[in-house]
Amino acid sequence: MIIIMKTGVERDLIDAVVDRVQELGLSANVIEGEERTIIGVVGLPLPPTLDEMFEVMPGVENVVRVTKKFKLAGWDFHPQKTTITIDDLIIGGDGITIVAGPCSVETEDQTLETARAVAAAGATVLRGGAYKPRTSPYEFRGLGERGLEILARAREETGLKIITEVMTPSDVEIVGQYTDIFQIGARNCQNYLLLEEVGKAMKPVMLKRGLSLLIEEWLLAAEYVMAQGNPDVILCERGIRTFENATRNTLDVSAVPVLQSLSHLPVFIDPSHAAGKRAFVGSLSLAGIAAGADGLMIEVHPSPDHAMSDGAQSLDFVEFAELMPRIGAVTEAVGRGSSVPSTPAI
């Protein structure tokens, strides 16, 4: 950590900071520049709020933390890329994983029909919400456990793995009885008690980025899961909130290489929530793969204009089937393959 003193502060303020550093069992290296003095703080481990502590001392201009606050999610102690294996499905390996399905599980027919369609087109994981967070209390909130049963039936029939959202700690057990992957939604990305609960559950967790979360904060959220012993976290960029409103959110496609430079965890893109309009989902899917994402999560519905949620951004079966070979072409162009050994039967 580096403490930058204000211009021309008196000697005793500098001494006070140095004393405080030493009081904490750390050591201080003082560098006197022409304009300012800076103090390098060395020693381990640094308390997490050490920077705040020094920022308020008289004469201090600024404090810069050198070490990252996340440990388990970073490369330093885990120099291999994380791959997650669920039976024959490998996430984060050489291949690309395509997750597809409806926003909400509405009926058994709708879900099974969609599962068959996305499997036929080459998806290997089925998404579908049984517990839905909705901005308004007056909207459809999901089928609950009945929805989980329907997803399980779809898995049985199609062989797809399933992913579904869990919204609150007390639901982790029931959702964990059915799902292959827990999904933590954007609004719950800093719901720390929920993160810890799925951290104890020992099934892979897909952590969607909060609407205005810094990448470093997102990795700290992943750290919450990992600190409970669960190493299998997938990060999913789904658009951030900016001033631009031509799209529902702004896909931060740069998050893919940025995350890959900071972390060994697999990175997915959700083009559907980013775009908010189905017409842009194809372009964003291809952009995500080209940027290096390990997978995509795409909303697909048998009849988007009758969907109970997110219809505007869902593809229908034909649109999804037409998009998949385009995704395949870009996947190949960036030197990657599919996440399952077998060739999908399109």
In the window 161-220, what residues touch a copy of itself (CB under 8 A)? 167-170, 187-188, 190-194, 196, 210-212, 214-217, 220
Given 107, 113, 140, 159, the residue binding a copy of itself (CB under 8 A): 140
Given 80, 261, 342, 343, the residue binding a copy of itself (CB under 8 A): 261
Which range in 86-94, 108-116, 127-135, 146-154 contacts a copy of itself by CB under 8 A? 127-135
Rounded Cα gap, residues 119 and 104, in angstroms: 18
Asked if 204 and 180 count as a contact pair (C-beta separation under 8 A), the reply is yes
Q: How many CB atoms lie within 10 A of CB 46?
A: 17
Given 12, 15, 19, 53, the residue binding a copy of itself (CB under 8 A): 53
- Which tokens go with 139? 């909207």
Which range in 69-77, 87-95, 119-127, 151-159 contacts a copy of itself by CB under 8 A? 69-77
Rounded Cα gap, residues 257 and 297, in angstroms: 18
Report in angstroms the alpha-carbon separations of 331 from 43, 288, 317, 326, 342.
45, 10, 21, 9, 16
Rounded Cα gap, residues 287 and 150, in angstroms: 32
- Which residue number, 64 or 346, has a Cβ lying nearer to a copy of itself? 64
Q: State residue 272 phi and psi, 5-degree precision.
A: -70, -50
Query: At closest approach, how far in Å is the CB of 224 from a copy of itself?
Result: 5
Q: Contact between 25 and a copy of itself (CB under 8 A)?
A: no
Given 40, 144, 231, 344, the residue binding a copy of itself (CB under 8 A): 40
- Which residue number, 125 or 255, has a Cβ lying nearer to a copy of itself? 255
Residues 281-320 binding a copy of itself (CB under 8 A) are 282-284, 286-292, 304-312, 314
Rounded Cα gap, residues 154 and 140, in angstroms: 22
Rounded Cα gap, residues 90 and 338, in angstroms: 9
Q: Contact between 330 and a copy of itself (CB under 8 A)?
A: yes
